[in-house]
Structure 1
Amino acid sequence: MPQLNPSPWFSIFIFSWLVFLTFLPTKVIKHTFPHDPLPQPAGLMDPQPWTWPWT
């Protein structure tokens, strides 16, 4: 039964985790959003009261 021999499967397991831990975090960190919202000062916001049609 080849499944009981851990030598090839263990090396594949270690290699795959090395790939995941080296390439994926760098790709995730480099990700940027296309439309980054700009902070606006609170003084420009003038909220209007909501007019409910049934009141």
Structure 2
Amino acid sequence: MPQLSPEPWLTVLLTVWTFFIIILQPKIATLTATNNPTPHKPQTTKTWPWPWTQTY
């Protein structure tokens, strides 16, 4: 069965990981976010006072 032969896929996997680790990872690590998130004030929602949820 050709799916179980690791020869072509192992080479492709090692080549892609080597490319990612050596070339792409340092470029991605140096990127900075241009739109920094700002903290938002949590919104309070007004709920309907159902008769069975009121405590006396």
* TM-score, normalised by the number of residues in structure 2: 0.48
* TM-score, normalised by the number of residues in structure 1: 0.48
